[in-house]
Structure 1
Amino acid sequence: MTNPFHEPAESGDSDDAVWEDLVRRLEADPATAPDATDVPPGDSPGTDDSGPALPGADTPRGVDPQLFQMHPALTGPRDYEGSEDDDDGAFIPEDPPALGSGNPLLNLAWICAAGAPMALLLLAIFWRRAPMPLWIGLVVLAVAAAVFLFARLPRHRQDDDDGARV
Protein backbone atom coordinates (compact mmCIF):
# COMPACT_ATOMS: atom_id res chain seq x y z
CA MET A 1 0.00 0.00 0.00
CA THR A 2 1.33 3.43 -0.86
CA ASN A 3 1.99 6.05 1.72
CA PRO A 4 -0.59 8.87 1.16
CA PHE A 5 1.43 11.43 3.12
CA HIS A 6 4.72 10.81 1.26
CA GLU A 7 6.55 10.12 4.47
CA PRO A 8 9.73 8.05 4.47
CA ALA A 9 8.99 4.37 4.34
CA GLU A 10 9.80 2.14 7.26
CA SER A 11 12.60 -0.35 6.81
CA GLY A 12 10.23 -3.30 7.08
CA ASP A 13 8.06 -2.29 4.09
CA SER A 14 7.74 -4.71 1.19
CA ASP A 15 8.74 -1.96 -1.24
CA ASP A 16 12.27 -2.01 0.11
CA ALA A 17 12.80 -5.61 -0.89
CA VAL A 18 11.42 -4.99 -4.36
CA TRP A 19 13.60 -1.90 -4.75
CA GLU A 20 16.75 -3.70 -3.63
CA ASP A 21 15.99 -6.54 -6.03
CA LEU A 22 15.52 -4.09 -8.89
CA VAL A 23 18.79 -2.31 -8.14
CA ARG A 24 20.64 -5.61 -7.87
CA ARG A 25 19.29 -6.79 -11.24
CA LEU A 26 20.14 -3.50 -12.95
CA GLU A 27 23.69 -3.55 -11.59
CA ALA A 28 24.21 -7.14 -12.78
CA ASP A 29 26.20 -7.78 -15.94
CA PRO A 30 23.70 -8.09 -18.84
CA ALA A 31 25.90 -10.63 -20.65
CA THR A 32 25.38 -13.20 -17.92
CA ALA A 33 22.11 -15.01 -17.64
CA PRO A 34 20.15 -14.44 -14.43
CA ASP A 35 20.37 -17.19 -11.88
CA ALA A 36 17.38 -18.68 -10.17
CA THR A 37 18.51 -16.92 -7.00
CA ASP A 38 18.26 -13.47 -8.65
CA VAL A 39 14.47 -13.55 -8.78
CA PRO A 40 12.40 -13.70 -5.60
CA PRO A 41 9.95 -16.58 -5.42
CA GLY A 42 6.66 -15.84 -7.13
CA ASP A 43 8.05 -12.78 -8.97
CA SER A 44 9.38 -14.49 -12.08
CA PRO A 45 7.25 -14.25 -15.22
CA GLY A 46 5.26 -17.30 -16.14
CA THR A 47 5.05 -18.65 -12.62
CA ASP A 48 2.32 -18.69 -10.17
CA ASP A 49 2.80 -19.15 -6.47
CA SER A 50 2.07 -22.87 -6.62
CA GLY A 51 4.20 -24.21 -9.45
CA PRO A 52 7.46 -24.02 -11.36
CA ALA A 53 8.16 -21.68 -14.26
CA LEU A 54 6.53 -22.44 -17.57
CA PRO A 55 8.92 -23.26 -20.44
CA GLY A 56 9.75 -20.20 -22.49
CA ALA A 57 8.03 -17.86 -20.05
CA ASP A 58 10.96 -15.45 -19.91
CA THR A 59 10.78 -14.66 -23.65
CA PRO A 60 8.42 -12.06 -25.12
CA ARG A 61 5.04 -13.18 -26.40
CA GLY A 62 5.08 -14.36 -30.02
CA VAL A 63 8.84 -14.97 -30.08
CA ASP A 64 10.32 -18.42 -30.46
CA PRO A 65 12.20 -19.26 -27.23
CA GLN A 66 14.78 -21.27 -29.20
CA LEU A 67 15.79 -18.07 -30.99
CA PHE A 68 17.07 -16.61 -27.75
CA GLN A 69 18.92 -19.84 -26.92
CA MET A 70 20.67 -19.85 -30.32
CA HIS A 71 21.44 -16.09 -30.34
CA PRO A 72 21.67 -14.82 -26.76
CA ALA A 73 23.10 -11.43 -27.71
CA LEU A 74 20.47 -10.17 -30.16
CA THR A 75 20.89 -6.52 -31.03
CA GLY A 76 18.21 -3.88 -30.94
CA PRO A 77 17.70 -0.66 -32.88
CA ARG A 78 19.92 1.34 -30.53
CA ASP A 79 22.83 -1.05 -31.10
CA TYR A 80 23.18 0.09 -34.73
CA GLU A 81 26.48 1.71 -35.61
CA GLY A 82 26.57 3.60 -38.88
CA SER A 83 29.50 3.34 -41.22
CA GLU A 84 31.14 6.07 -43.23
CA ASP A 85 29.73 4.78 -46.50
CA ASP A 86 26.13 5.31 -45.32
CA ASP A 87 26.06 8.71 -47.05
CA ASP A 88 23.15 8.32 -49.44
CA GLY A 89 23.76 11.45 -51.49
CA ALA A 90 22.65 13.99 -48.90
CA PHE A 91 23.03 17.66 -49.77
CA ILE A 92 26.39 19.08 -48.73
CA PRO A 93 26.47 22.87 -49.15
CA GLU A 94 29.46 24.63 -50.59
CA ASP A 95 31.50 26.99 -48.45
CA PRO A 96 29.96 30.46 -48.29
CA PRO A 97 31.93 33.37 -49.72
CA ALA A 98 33.68 35.85 -47.45
CA LEU A 99 31.51 38.61 -46.01
CA GLY A 100 33.22 41.47 -47.83
CA SER A 101 33.38 39.74 -51.21
CA GLY A 102 29.82 40.55 -52.31
CA ASN A 103 28.39 43.53 -54.14
CA PRO A 104 29.59 46.65 -52.26
CA LEU A 105 26.34 48.52 -52.92
CA LEU A 106 24.33 45.63 -51.51
CA ASN A 107 26.56 45.46 -48.43
CA LEU A 108 26.15 49.21 -47.89
CA ALA A 109 22.36 48.90 -48.20
CA TRP A 110 22.27 46.18 -45.53
CA ILE A 111 24.45 48.24 -43.19
CA CYS A 112 22.22 51.31 -43.67
CA ALA A 113 18.96 49.36 -43.34
CA ALA A 114 20.09 47.87 -40.02
CA GLY A 115 22.36 50.63 -38.75
CA ALA A 116 20.09 53.67 -39.23
CA PRO A 117 17.29 52.38 -36.94
CA MET A 118 19.88 51.46 -34.30
CA ALA A 119 21.40 54.95 -34.61
CA LEU A 120 17.92 56.47 -34.19
CA LEU A 121 17.40 54.41 -31.04
CA LEU A 122 20.75 55.49 -29.60
CA LEU A 123 19.97 59.14 -30.44
CA ALA A 124 16.61 58.86 -28.68
CA ILE A 125 18.27 57.43 -25.57
CA PHE A 126 21.49 59.45 -25.28
CA TRP A 127 21.18 62.67 -27.37
CA ARG A 128 17.60 63.90 -27.47
CA ARG A 129 18.60 67.39 -28.55
CA ALA A 130 20.27 66.16 -31.74
CA PRO A 131 19.69 68.48 -34.72
CA MET A 132 16.52 67.80 -36.72
CA PRO A 133 18.38 67.24 -40.05
CA LEU A 134 20.24 64.30 -38.42
CA TRP A 135 16.93 62.68 -37.39
CA ILE A 136 15.38 63.17 -40.80
CA GLY A 137 18.55 62.03 -42.58
CA LEU A 138 18.67 58.75 -40.63
CA VAL A 139 14.99 58.05 -41.34
CA VAL A 140 15.45 58.76 -45.07
CA LEU A 141 18.60 56.61 -45.14
CA ALA A 142 16.82 53.64 -43.50
CA VAL A 143 13.79 53.89 -45.82
CA ALA A 144 15.96 54.26 -48.94
CA ALA A 145 18.07 51.24 -48.00
CA ALA A 146 14.96 49.13 -47.33
CA VAL A 147 13.41 50.16 -50.69
CA PHE A 148 16.67 49.29 -52.48
CA LEU A 149 16.78 45.84 -50.85
CA PHE A 150 13.12 45.12 -51.67
CA ALA A 151 13.68 46.21 -55.27
CA ARG A 152 16.50 43.68 -55.65
CA LEU A 153 14.32 40.73 -54.61
CA PRO A 154 13.59 38.24 -57.41
CA ARG A 155 10.22 38.76 -59.09
CA HIS A 156 9.66 35.22 -60.37
CA ARG A 157 10.38 31.80 -58.97
CA GLN A 158 12.91 29.67 -60.78
CA ASP A 159 11.43 26.33 -61.86
CA ASP A 160 14.62 24.35 -61.38
CA ASP A 161 15.18 25.62 -57.83
CA ASP A 162 14.45 22.97 -55.20
CA GLY A 163 15.01 25.31 -52.23
CA ALA A 164 18.24 23.67 -51.07
CA ARG A 165 20.14 26.96 -51.37
CA VAL A 166 19.34 30.24 -49.77
Structure 2
Amino acid sequence: MSPSREDDEFERIVAGLELSVPDEDDEPAPARAEPDVFEPRWSDPLEESDADPDDVFVPPEPPPVSVGDRVSRIAWTVLVGGPALLLVLALAGVRLSGPVLAVIALGIVAAFVTLMARRSGTDRGSDPDNGAVV
Protein backbone atom coordinates (compact mmCIF):
# COMPACT_ATOMS: atom_id res chain seq x y z
CA MET A 1 0.00 0.00 0.00
CA SER A 2 1.42 3.39 -0.95
CA PRO A 3 1.90 6.06 1.74
CA SER A 4 -0.86 8.25 0.29
CA ARG A 5 -3.37 5.38 0.35
CA GLU A 6 -2.36 4.58 3.93
CA ASP A 7 -2.87 8.23 4.90
CA ASP A 8 -6.28 8.26 3.22
CA GLU A 9 -7.26 5.05 5.03
CA PHE A 10 -6.07 6.48 8.35
CA GLU A 11 -8.05 9.68 7.80
CA ARG A 12 -11.19 7.63 7.01
CA ILE A 13 -10.80 5.63 10.22
CA VAL A 14 -10.15 8.71 12.34
CA ALA A 15 -13.15 10.52 10.84
CA GLY A 16 -15.44 7.71 12.06
CA LEU A 17 -14.31 7.96 15.69
CA GLU A 18 -16.41 9.71 18.30
CA LEU A 19 -14.12 11.35 20.80
CA SER A 20 -16.51 13.03 23.18
CA VAL A 21 -15.69 13.04 26.90
CA PRO A 22 -18.82 12.42 28.99
CA ASP A 23 -19.67 14.81 31.79
CA GLU A 24 -19.87 13.47 35.32
CA ASP A 25 -23.64 14.12 35.33
CA ASP A 26 -24.21 12.10 32.16
CA GLU A 27 -25.10 8.46 32.53
CA PRO A 28 -23.00 6.13 30.44
CA ALA A 29 -24.60 5.17 27.18
CA PRO A 30 -25.48 1.48 26.89
CA ALA A 31 -23.01 -0.43 24.81
CA ARG A 32 -24.39 -1.45 21.48
CA ALA A 33 -23.23 -4.68 19.95
CA GLU A 34 -22.61 -4.67 16.26
CA PRO A 35 -23.60 -7.85 14.46
CA ASP A 36 -20.14 -8.43 12.93
CA VAL A 37 -18.18 -8.01 16.18
CA PHE A 38 -17.07 -11.19 17.89
CA GLU A 39 -18.01 -11.27 21.56
CA PRO A 40 -16.72 -14.39 23.32
CA ARG A 41 -18.85 -16.01 25.97
CA TRP A 42 -16.99 -17.25 29.01
CA SER A 43 -18.15 -20.37 30.76
CA ASP A 44 -16.73 -22.27 33.66
CA PRO A 45 -16.27 -25.94 32.73
CA LEU A 46 -16.75 -26.92 36.38
CA GLU A 47 -20.23 -25.41 36.47
CA GLU A 48 -21.67 -27.34 33.55
CA SER A 49 -25.18 -28.40 34.43
CA ASP A 50 -25.28 -31.32 31.98
CA ALA A 51 -22.28 -33.06 33.57
CA ASP A 52 -23.02 -36.37 35.20
CA PRO A 53 -21.98 -36.22 38.89
CA ASP A 54 -21.27 -39.97 38.89
CA ASP A 55 -18.97 -39.67 35.88
CA VAL A 56 -15.83 -38.72 37.82
CA PHE A 57 -12.38 -40.05 37.01
CA VAL A 58 -10.83 -41.93 39.90
CA PRO A 59 -7.21 -42.87 39.25
CA PRO A 60 -6.15 -46.41 40.07
CA GLU A 61 -3.99 -47.08 43.09
CA PRO A 62 -0.30 -46.84 42.18
CA PRO A 63 1.78 -49.98 42.50
CA PRO A 64 3.91 -50.27 45.63
CA VAL A 65 7.37 -48.78 45.43
CA SER A 66 9.96 -51.47 45.03
CA VAL A 67 12.81 -51.24 47.49
CA GLY A 68 15.27 -52.89 45.13
CA ASP A 69 17.78 -55.55 45.96
CA ARG A 70 20.40 -55.26 48.67
CA VAL A 71 23.40 -54.83 46.34
CA SER A 72 21.78 -51.92 44.50
CA ARG A 73 20.81 -50.20 47.74
CA ILE A 74 24.36 -50.52 49.11
CA ALA A 75 25.83 -49.27 45.81
CA TRP A 76 23.53 -46.22 45.80
CA THR A 77 24.35 -45.50 49.43
CA VAL A 78 28.09 -45.59 48.75
CA LEU A 79 27.77 -43.63 45.50
CA VAL A 80 25.81 -40.80 47.15
CA GLY A 81 27.17 -41.11 50.68
CA GLY A 82 30.87 -41.19 49.77
CA PRO A 83 31.02 -37.72 48.20
CA ALA A 84 28.66 -36.39 50.89
CA LEU A 85 30.99 -37.74 53.60
CA LEU A 86 34.00 -36.16 51.91
CA LEU A 87 32.18 -32.83 51.65
CA VAL A 88 31.15 -32.83 55.31
CA LEU A 89 34.65 -33.78 56.44
CA ALA A 90 36.19 -31.07 54.25
CA LEU A 91 33.82 -28.43 55.64
CA ALA A 92 34.61 -29.58 59.17
CA GLY A 93 38.34 -29.20 58.50
CA VAL A 94 39.21 -32.85 59.13
CA ARG A 95 42.38 -33.97 57.39
CA LEU A 96 42.21 -37.53 56.10
CA SER A 97 45.22 -39.70 55.40
CA GLY A 98 45.95 -41.02 51.91
CA PRO A 99 44.76 -44.59 52.48
CA VAL A 100 41.38 -43.43 53.89
CA LEU A 101 40.81 -41.19 50.87
CA ALA A 102 41.82 -44.03 48.55
CA VAL A 103 39.30 -46.40 50.18
CA ILE A 104 36.48 -43.85 49.87
CA ALA A 105 37.39 -43.10 46.23
CA LEU A 106 37.62 -46.79 45.35
CA GLY A 107 34.25 -47.39 47.03
CA ILE A 108 32.64 -44.65 44.94
CA VAL A 109 34.13 -46.03 41.72
CA ALA A 110 33.14 -49.59 42.64
CA ALA A 111 29.58 -48.50 43.41
CA PHE A 112 29.32 -46.72 40.06
CA VAL A 113 30.68 -49.73 38.17
CA THR A 114 28.30 -52.04 40.05
CA LEU A 115 25.27 -49.91 39.19
CA MET A 116 26.28 -49.67 35.52
CA ALA A 117 26.86 -53.43 35.31
CA ARG A 118 23.48 -54.23 36.88
CA ARG A 119 21.45 -52.00 34.59
CA SER A 120 18.57 -53.72 32.88
CA GLY A 121 19.63 -54.59 29.36
CA THR A 122 16.66 -53.18 27.47
CA ASP A 123 16.58 -54.08 23.82
CA ARG A 124 16.41 -50.94 21.72
CA GLY A 125 15.81 -52.92 18.54
CA SER A 126 16.79 -51.32 15.28
CA ASP A 127 15.84 -47.82 16.44
CA PRO A 128 18.90 -45.57 16.03
CA ASP A 129 17.41 -43.00 18.39
CA ASN A 130 18.94 -43.07 21.86
CA GLY A 131 15.86 -41.56 23.49
CA ALA A 132 13.88 -42.89 26.41
CA VAL A 133 12.75 -46.49 26.38
CA VAL A 134 9.20 -46.92 27.62
TM-score normalised over the length of structure 1 = 0.45
State the one-letter code of the partner of 1:86: V
Contact 1:112 1:142 (8 Å CA) reproduced? yes
Q: How does 1:30-41 map to 2 (within 5 A)?
A: 41=27
Structure 1 unpaired stretches of 5+: 1-13, 18-39, 47-56, 64-73
Match status 1:114 vs 2:80: yes
Pick closer, same or farther for the CA change 1:158–1:83 going to 2, 3 Å.
farther
Q: How far apart in 2 are the matches of 1:90 and 1:59?
A: 46
Tell me by how many angstroms 1:123 deviates: 2.3
Q: How far apart in 1 are the matches of 2:93 and 2:112?
A: 25
Pick closer, same or farther for the CA change 1:150–1:107 going to 2, 3 Å.
same
Match status 1:83 vs 2:53: yes
Contact 1:45 1:58 (8 Å CA) reproduced? no
TM-score normalised over the length of structure 2 = 0.54
What is the RMSD computed on CA atoms of the aligned residues? 4.0
Tell me by how many angstroms 1:86 deviates: 3.4
Contact 1:112 1:145 (8 Å CA) reproduced? yes
State the one-letter code of the partner of 1:109: A
**Once the two structures are superposed, what CA deviation does each residue of 1:39-58 show, in whole Å capped at 9, x if it has no partner?**
x6452112xxxxxxxxxx59
Q: How does 1:71-150 map to 2 (within 5 A)?
A: 76-78=43-45, 79-80=47-48, 83-87=53-57, 93-97=62-66, 99=67, 102-150=68-116
Q: Aligned pairs, how many?
A: 102
State the one-letter code of the partner of 1:93: P
Tell me by how many angstroms 1:92 deviates: 5.2
Tell me by how many angstroms 1:82 deviates: 7.1
